[in-house]
Structure 1
Amino acid sequence: MGHERTTRSHFRGTGRIPRRTGRRSGLLALALAIPLAVPGSAVAGPAGAAPGRAAAGAPSPAEQWNILRPKLEGIKGTWTNQSYTGSVSRTMPDTALLGNGDVGVTSGGSTGVKSFYVSKGDFWAGNPTARTAPIGGVTLQSTTAQDNPDLALGATATAGSTAGSFTASRAVNGQWGSGYEGWVSAIGKPQWIALDLGSVKTIARFVVRNDNAARPGNEAFNTKNLTFQTSADGTTWNTVDTVTNNTADVIDRTVTAVQTRYVRLHITEPTQNTTPDSTNNPRARIGQIELYAGAGGTTPPAQPFREEQHIVDGSITTSVSMGNTPLSMRTWLAAEKNVLVTSVTSTGSQPVRLQASVFAGAMGSPNSQYSNSSGVDGQVMWAERATPSGPNWVSRAALASTVLGATAVQPPTSSGATAKTVFTVPAGGTVTLVTAVTGGGRNPAAPHGDAVARVRAENTGSIGTLDTQRVAWWKNFWMRSAVSLNDAALERYYYPAQYFIGASSRAGRTVPGIFGIWTTTDDPMWDGDLHLNYNAQAPFYGVYSSNRPDLALPFHEAILAYVPEAQRRAGQDLRRVHPEYVTSRFPNGGVPSGVLFPVGISPFGSASGSTTDDQYHQQVSNSLFSATQFVAYYEYTQDENFLRTKGYPFLTQVARFFEHWVERDAAGAYSLWGGPHEGTWGKNSSPDLGMLKQVLAAAVSGSQKLNVDADRRAVWQNILGNLPAQPTTTLNGRTVYSLASGIQGTDTRLIRPGDNTINLEFIQPADQLGVNSDAGRLQVARDTVTAMNSWGQENSFPKIFNQAARVGYPADQLIDAFRSVISTRTAPNLRITDPHHGIEKSGATEAINSMLVQSDASVISLFPAWPAAKDASFYQLRQKGAFVVSSSKAAGTVQYVDVRSEAGGTLRLKNPWSTAFTVTDAAGNAVPYTTPGGVITVPTTAGRTYRVTPV
């Protein structure tokens, strides 16, 4: 084990008040003081260096947009069928997604039916505990009768039993699609479901869509044996067809035509009996029942279909046929207003009648404790949803829709949770469906009135203005920074990942949960919450260097809102972390100050019910993980107001807890206990140790910057200076970084190859090791990355690539591993998939940024983890110290470096050239500099841009 006591400084300021720009930003002065050398002139370099041509510098904004826009236009999700696989999901959907940081929109539907499912970032149920919830959605479909229509659609359905809200009517509502669950029975067999068609109909074919048809992986729950029965009176049943030993997802049977009003499926074996659950808990699960007068094989061929998700401007285009008429749709969500717009243009030669509907409810696992209602107000349709009542809060949200530009619009009608209207789109004409979204939060008044008023205020002119504003907003978003990698695979990950976090998070809004702001089910995995042992922080790992630090502000607000409860827990609930250990050290069951966070919370602070996963898993690191994002925001922005009002107060709370938690031996050395993995217990847990060093260093420098807490500063400095080095162990003859210095319990392994790279989180997000660190420690880190080989491990995606880049892992190997995971894990909407996680995958954008530029140990390094022979460039990547950097590398040579200093301070740039270079300002005037230790060192002025180029 190594025990060198190496720590890093944080939060050292310039002494200047940051100059405000268009966003909250400032400057962090770099921490290491490098002795000044003799000031240089405008040109420096080795004697006799051959002069070369200096590059022109970074492109202008107009030039940059002309480069970037075609790239973004070419990166899009594409679908050519109407299965909408993954639209209804307990995790993050796989279909086209829109978002404005408050409202999330998920594309869905079925053949000939176009739906958009709507959720809202602050629409959380509070009872019995917090969880995200969908509001409902809007649907467009034809009213034209099909040649061979589904006669079961809308039939009155009854069943022998029902499990919760999975009623029989769900099997005939026409909303079946990917992820959908229809009728589910109680446990037991046999089961039955019966349909009353309302009048006598001719039936020659029946279709049963089993559970696995909509929810892949559930083949054990496909119906095995059933009989298809008819009746003249709904009481006496005649068997028409018998199905035995079925394993198929869809049962599609042609029968001798029969005239009947009543139909029943009598299910004798509802499951395959191939798993313990399907054997011990047999339930019938029927996603949809379809009945046709025509025999099998008469289903008309699929009409041409194409849907595209456009990240360049946050829109979805759909080419689809309804009523045998080709339609072109464009759907978008306003950037600054919660208004969803779908324009429908007919490209056919005849008018087409369409039905528009707005509904409240969940597409997946609907909870009967939610209330869903609808209504009409003039030409406006509305639907409203309320979360379950109980001792905690109730949230309400509403949708209101109206049709603009149509002819022959019928008065809307309402029934149950759905309101609808019928209208005509003339040949070649365009009609617009406008939907306002309101409500959310805790205990709002009924929001549908506000939604009605908002949508009624819209007209063709205002919609055009919103459209223009949306396009401008996304252009501004993309122009904050950009990369050019000459690598289509990496860029196909990088830009969609930026899109998803940009669509999910917005300053002044509610922080997105683990799956972003896209919820389509009442039973989201992990309650859709904020998991604080990395998952909730990981989406923001790349926003700082991507020059979008404001996207992290909602996370800070959620953490600060929970502080009062975290303080209570530190004093009263600590024993639950590890009863034996805590009782031995803290007989009162708590510590007198500081904060203790559980693993899962909601955005609503200390409100009753806001804790989602009320466990600690023997970990005290949730506050430390959260603190990393406060440190990063200040280091990359030097926003002194943030430091004073939010960053420093929170860091001191975390530091105060660990003042009590750490143990001090007779020699004055400190150690701490905690769980590196959930449920483990180890001494000097690697992530805890690294993040504690980061917090203490930041608290010390923050107190110096603000000139406060000198007494506490001395305590923090003492602990910081006497913490051990990151623990190591030996694996296959090599020294590697370990999970802890020692672990108790049944699994005492100090390193777990192939598992989550927890043992490297001291590198990132804790920033305790970087490309300018000691060469020996860097080699240990690179050997650890190799030994872990966790490139494909699902938790590690937003970790290992960042960590590898930060320590200068061999660039070609790093990129190959990155490409390999991307190639096998990319969903049609271009998100990175795994069975349990969502928006956190955006965090690996930090890896790409760190390959191109890093600020470590107060020095900015260019292309530190990029292949030497591979061209690349980047535009406005933000570095610690609030330096915004642009550069390009071609033919192995850095062409230029442009640096905008947002609040002054000293720029330190590792010299990338062996030849002469110039340092000028934006006007071309020579700027004084020094080159101590091969580091180009330039005193800067806030708001000025500096250019360094070879000559």
Structure 2
Amino acid sequence: MRGAAALALTAAIALPLSGCAAANAATTRSAADEWAQVQAILGGIQGKASAPIGNVTTKKFTAGMLLGNGDLGVVAGGSNNTSQKFYFGKNDFWGTAWNSGHSQLVTAILSLGSLTISSSTSSPNPGPAYKMTQDILNAEVLSTVQLGGATVNMRSYTADSDNAFITELSSPAGSPSVSLNIALGLPGPDSHTSYPTTVAGSGGTIVATRHNNLKGGSDFQSESSIAVRPVGVGFSSTSTSGSTATGKFTLAGGSTVQLATVFRSDARQGSGGPSASTLAGRATSAVNALTDADVANLLSNHRDFWKNYWLKAFVQTNDTTMNGYWYGALYAMGSASRPGKVLAGMNGPWVIDDFTQFPRYWYNYNVQAPFYGVASANHPDLLQPYNVQQNAEQQWQINWTAASGGYKGEMWQRTMGPFHQFMPTPAPASKRSSKNARWTDQKSNGMFAALPSLWYYEYTQDQNFLKNQLYPNLRAVDEFYRDYLTTSGSRLVVAHSSAHESSDDLNPNLDIGFVRRVETELITLSQLLGVDQNLVPTWQSTLSKLAKLPTATVGGKTVYTMAENINGSTSTSNTFKPGDQPINMEGGVFPGENIYVGGDPTEVQIAINTLQAMNSWGVTSGQNKGNGFPKEFPIAARVGWPAADLVSKLDAAIKAQWRSSNLTVAQSGGGIETSGTVEAVDSMFMQSVSGTIRVFQDADWPATKDGAFTRLRAKGAFLVSAAQAGGKVGPITLGSDAGGTVKIKNPWGSGTVSVTTAGGTPVSFTNSGGVISFATTAGTSYDVTSSAAAKVAGFARGPALGPDQQGGAFLPPVPGGHPELPLLLGALLVAVYLLRTVRPRPRVAVA
């Protein structure tokens, strides 16, 4: 759904600071308090529909409501108001699909069909009854549909402890009984290829199977079975027609029935998997064995999973648009990616059709972008499927680089599927006899592919991961770049690469930034691991000779360009594109992370100039509204674009392409990648790329805007909680996952600083040059404050205040009462105390 749709945030609550306590991460006393805060925030953030949702079935990302457990994906929606339809996808169900635009079969994630709930009895007045709610707090879709003469309520969710999908069907007391039809449909025959399917119904259960279209002994073969049954009662009759199995049963008035759909699957290289009948039998046995008690356990586990998920980190932006986006995006990512599952494609596991517009992984930004903010939002575990895919693919890409390009090391193809995860690692390939610099276009893909894995290490400090996967990966990227770089005068340059696809460019910003990043990173990591010390001078030499990030003059100011030349042209009409997506800063600022607040001020100013001259903010026609959304705002936050203006611009961009039905932002360039702007919000609250943690105004948060965050994750594996009120920052709570020294930019600027453990034990620290520094111990929490810190109720050191210690905090209204009234005077006194001149941080110029 495109256009300026309004945010549909029911009872939108812009909670004050008490809604997001800076709590001690290790203290259980505040768990109930924190959960109440999260419930209050998320209770006002829901997808809503009062009529059938448009654009559910699309070649792009759906507007339907979303459910998922990191493997199974379900889209809720339908084309009429007298039924409810659910579409199924699965992260490991891949094959090839017909691309009509290219008239060939291409690697693609495939559909697993749909489930439709309807009645043969006509509905007398379905329009007023119809409604749907995407409840992200509980990860459920709530539907009300008039089926026959009964108004049927549905609660649907994907289980987290099994590949099961549950829809609870009920009707109010006094409702008439209604006969329901449950249709399990698989996609029909394809004229270009064959996807073997079976459908059957017996013993009160309907079942279907689907196999992909790859049959060779070395092919990736995937198959899945789906069995459906009303728990405890079964279908009274079943039938099949074509690729659809249908079951019928009667929902008695005032009763509740759990409709269970169970999936069983197999994915492997070559043959040897279970037969269709065997797989169907597994799903049938599982669904037949379910009892109401089993379903209750599935629901309890589901609720526990999502409660723990939301408590990992939460924020209060005091902006309904930003809150809606941040939580909606993290809901999508928590539903699409889980440890132990196959990496989600560009549309996640939400697959409506066998051929979507972007049916696989694209490594020149698209597959990385959804993960931009997950680590800083304290969900680094969501990166694990990416890491597995990255590791499985590495030797294949080294071989491709050698055999096709004739180069050492690792460069990456632009697009692929997950097939190599299921295949043995190949033997090293021989290099071709001569180098071919034009065997592919974008030479930046290898480092682009490595970046999410680098973040996983930086935010978790997982030393085994560093040693066994990340470091070898970065060394292979380094080997390629050093073999590929050529000398031009006194410079090392990247020739014959490509800024955008299918070009022949000199020194793209992406390549120069990524070379700079990998060489810098290897100098640090090699010393940490005690390896490759003989290469440190080589890496330092590469950095000293490397061409600078390309620039030009536009409007009298220096700006970053996409490349030094584009197809041989140095004209800014070719190298600098206002209104475009900001690929001219991806290598330098983000995700390259070479330029940042607290870094080289000249480079930061050039980045600000560039943002100003491009005017790419996701609200005008062009690629700033295409692939731009996950790029523009993290880049702007990382270089300190004026914070209040950034909030305004981000709000406008979210609203311009907001899907009110499923709380995601649309864009023409892809699907779940719009979740990447979570990093912009995180970076506005807190930045740590410089090695020093910066919060609020020292990051990129408006001085005049109250806000709070709980357990955002900083590089170095530190969990940070803090709040700002009246322009002043309160005490900071910091948890250390891995130990090591932490540095915090002093957000108070005056007053007496103190550092203690959560238990109150004083900790030795330094406070020099505006930076507080102290040694931490893994598993320990610390309170950092100043006599100049904001005295905000609910943010004292230690655990969050409980309901009997509310002080002057504002609370959401309680039905039947007004608890905020006795607190108003105290809150006003606090505000008066805080309304004084606040310490401004130096700002770059935006003229």
Question: Please, what TM-score do these two structures have when normalized by structure 1?
Answer: 0.73
Secondary structure, counterpart of 1:856 in structure 2:
coil
**How far off is 1:337 after superposition?**
1.0
Structure 1 residues 636 and 124: CA distance shift in structure 2, 3 A: same
Residues 1:403 and 2:230 are matched in the alignment? yes
Is 1:753–2:589 an aligned residue pair?
A: no
AA in 1 matched with 2:143: T
1:599/1:362 CA distance change after superposition, 3 Å: farther
SS in 2 for 1:931: strand
Q: Which runs of 5+ in 1 are unaligned?
A: 1-54, 148-299, 575-589
Aligned ranges 1:569-588 → 2 under 5 Å: 569-574=400-405
Matched, 1:824 2:794: no
Which residue is equivalent to 2:820? none
Partner of residue 471, structure 1: 303
The aligned residue for residue 23 of structure 2 is 58
In the TM superposition, 1:838-917 aligns within 5 A as 838-863=671-696, 864-913=699-748, 914-917=750-753
- Give 1:310's match in structure 2, choosing from 128, 135, 145: 135
Q: Does 1:835 align with 2:668?
A: yes
Aligned twin of 1:88: 57
Distance in 2 of aligned mates of 1:663 and 1:529: 33
Residue 25 (structure 1) aligns with: none
1:133 Cα deviation from its structure 2 partner: 0.8
- Identify, as 1 or 2, the structure richer in helix: 2
- The whole-number CA distance in structure 2 between the counterparts of 1:712 and 1:302 is 70
Q: Does 1:484 find its partner at 2:484?
A: no
Q: CA deviation at 1:718?
A: 2.5
Rate the CA distance shift 1:401–1:740 in 2: closer, same or farther, 3 A: same
Tell me the residue number matched to 1:99.
68
The aligned counterpart of 1:594 is: 409
Question: Is the CA contact 1:373–1:416 (under 8 Å) kept in the aligned structure 2?
Answer: no
Match of 2:91 in 1: 121
CA contact (8 A) 2:182 2:248 kept: yes
Q: How far apart are the structure 2 equivalents of 1:56 and 1:464?
A: 32
Matched-pair contact (CA < 8 Å) for 1:381–1:402: yes
Q: Report the alpha carbon displacement of residue 725 of structure 1 after superposing the two structures with TM.
A: 2.7
* SS of equivalent residue, structure 2 residue 377: coil
* Cα contact 1:505–1:554 (8 A) shared by 2: yes
Per-residue deviation, 1:405 = 4.4
Name the SS of the counterpart of 2:708 in structure 1.
strand
CA gap of 1:505–1:927, structure 2 versus 1, over 3 A, is: same
2:605 aligns to what SS in structure 1?
helix
Q: Name which of 452, 466, 480 aligns with 1:643.
A: 466
Q: Secondary structure at the match of 1:396?
A: strand
Q: Within the alignment, does 1:947 sit opposite 2:793 as a pair?
A: no
Q: CA deviation at 1:697?
A: 2.0
- 2:567 aligns with 744
Aligned runs of 1:357-372 on 2, under 5 Å? 357-361=183-187, 369-372=194-197
| Larger relative contact order (Cα-Cα within 8 Å, sequence gap ≥ 6) | 1
User: What amino acid is the match of 2:23?
Assistant: A
Provide the rounded CA distance (Å) in 1 between the counterparts of 2:498 and 2:182: 53
Deviations 1:559-613 (A, max 9, x none): 2222222122111212xxxxxxxxxxxxxxx11x2122211111122889x9xxx
Equivalent residues of 1:540, 1:842 under 8 A apart: yes
In the other structure, the counterpart of 1:338 is: 163
| Cα 1:800–1:486 shift into 2, 3 Å | same
Can you list the C-alpha shifts for 1:465-521, whole angstroms capped at 9, x where unaligned?
A: 010000010011111111101101111111000000110001110101011110011
Change (3 A) 1:603 1:616: farther
Distance 1:784 1:746, change over 3 A: closer
Q: Cα RMSD between the aligned structures?
A: 2.3
What is the percent sequence identity of the aligned residues? Answer: 34
Shift of the 606–453 alpha-carbon distance from structure 1 to 2, 3 Å rule, reads: closer
Taking structure 1 as reference, are residues 420 and 514 closer, same or farther at Cα in structure 2, changes over 3 Å only? same
In structure 2, the CA distance between the partners of 1:822 and 1:420, relative to structure 1 (3 Å rule), is same
Q: 1:607/1:619 Cα in 2 relative to 1: closer, same or farther (>3 Å)?
A: farther
What runs of 5+ residues in structure 2 fail to find an aligned partner?
1-19, 25-29, 98-104, 426-437, 619-623, 788-847
Preserved CA contact (<8 Å) 1:920 1:947: yes
**In 1, Cα distance between equivalents of 2:725 and 2:774:** 25
Shift of residue 65, structure 1, vs aligned partner: 1.5
Per the alignment, residue 107 of structure 2 pairs with 130
Please give the alpha-carbon distance, in whole angstroms, between the structure 2 residues aligned to 1:318 and 1:683. 55
Partners of 1:603 and 1:92 in 2: how far apart? 20
- 1:861 deviates by 0.7
Which one has the largest radius of gyration? 1
Q: Does 1:438 align with 2:403?
A: no
1:674 and 2:489 are equivalent in the alignment: no
Q: Would the aligned equivalents of 1:917 and 1:949 in 2 still touch at CA under 8 Å?
A: yes
Q: CA deviation at 1:57?
A: 5.1
1:773 aligns to 2:599 (yes or no)? yes
| Residue 129 (structure 1) shift | 3.6
Of 930-939 and 674-683, more deviation after overlay is shown by 674-683
Q: Counterparts of 2:667 and 2:22 in 1: how far apart (Å)?
A: 41
Select between 365-374 and 752-761 the one with higher mean Cα deviation: 365-374
Q: CA 1:666–1:783 in structure 2 vs 1: closer, same or farther (change >3 Å)? A: closer
TM-superposed deviation, 1:669 = 4.7
SS of residue matched to 2:774: strand
Q: For residues 404 and 198 of structure 2, what CA distance do their matches in structure 1 show?
A: 41
Matches of 1:119 and 1:601, distance apart in 2: 18
Deviates more, 1:482-491 or 1:371-380: 371-380
- Asked whether the 8 Å contact 1:559–1:605 carries over to 2, the reply is no
Q: Could you tell me which amino acid in structure 2 is paired with residue 881 of structure 1? A: G
Of 46, 49, 58, 1:76 maps to: 46
1: distance between equivalents of 2:683 and 2:191? 43
Distance in 2 (CA, whole Å) between partners of 1:73 and 1:617 is 49
- Judge which range, 912-921 or 327-336, deviates more: 912-921
Asked whether the 8 Å contact 1:126–1:394 carries over to 2, the reply is no
In the aligned structure 1, how far is the partner of 2:154 from the partner of 2:453?
42
Hey, what does 2:327 align to over in structure 1? Answer: 495
Partner Cα separation in structure 1 for residue 650 and residue 286 of structure 2:
46
The one-letter amino acid of 1:787's match is: A
- Contact 2:517 2:593 (C-alpha < 8 Å) held by counterparts: yes
C-alpha distance after superposition, 1:240-286 (max 9, x if no partner): xxxxxxxxxxxxxxxxxxxxxxxxxxxxxxxxxxxxxxxxxxxxxxx
